[in-house]
Structure 1
Amino acid sequence: MLFLGLGIILLAMKYLEMSPVVTWPWWLVLSPFGLAMAWWAWADWSGYTKRKAVEKEMAKKQARIDKNKQSLGMQAGRRKR
């Protein structure tokens, strides 16, 4: 996301002819978009995207369980013996 934001900012600066970006070559201005594509390809290939999605889903599930236990008057995290 960082590369995409940087690319949009640089592209806008080049279009609006803002200094110092106006003198830069186009390949340099557009390179953050290529880096963003490379990052997304690597994240999908390595499983990083899926792993983060599963972690987020598990955190939501645990929060929901804790909230339900609290509303029932049970203490979250304690087990009965």
Structure 2
Amino acid sequence: MWLLIVGLVAIGLKYFEVGFFAGLSWWIVLSPFPAAMVWWAFADWSGYTARRAMERDDARKQARIDRQRDALGLTTRARGAARRKP
């Protein structure tokens, strides 16, 4: 995602001929887009995307379970809490 944002900003700066970007070649300005395509292909091939999606789903599921337990008053105490003497 960051590569796309960098690419869009670079296109805008090149188009309006702002500072350093005015003298750059269009090939350099457009290079973040193929880099983003390569990153997405690698992320899909390696399973990175699926792993991140599963982690996000697991975190959302655990948060929902914790909210439901709190609402029912079923929160668990820490293991050492029952053994402590006042």
TM-score normalised by L of structure 1: 0.91
Match in the other structure for 1:54: 54
* Superposition CA RMSD, Å: 1.6
Runs of 4 or more consecutive aligned structure 1 residues displaced over 6 Å after TM superposition: none
Deviation at 1:53, TM superposition (A): 0.3
1:22 Cα deviation after fit = 1.1
- Aligned-residue offset at 1:19: 1.4
User: What is the match of residue 28 of structure 1?
Assistant: 28
- 1:45 maps to 45
Q: Give the deviation of 1:78 after TM superposition.
A: 6.5
Alignment correspondent of 1:73? 73
Q: How many residues align?
A: 79
Q: Which residue of 2 aligns with 1:16?
A: 16
Structure label with greater radius of gyration: 2
Determine what percentage of the aligned residue pairs are the same residue: 48
TM-score by length of 2: 0.86
The structural deviation recorded for 1:26 is 0.8
**Residue in 1 that maps onto 2:82:** none
1:15-74 CA distance string (max 9 Å, x none): 111111111011100001111111111001111000000000000000000000000001
Unaligned runs of 5+ in 1: none
The amino acid across from 1:31 in the alignment is S
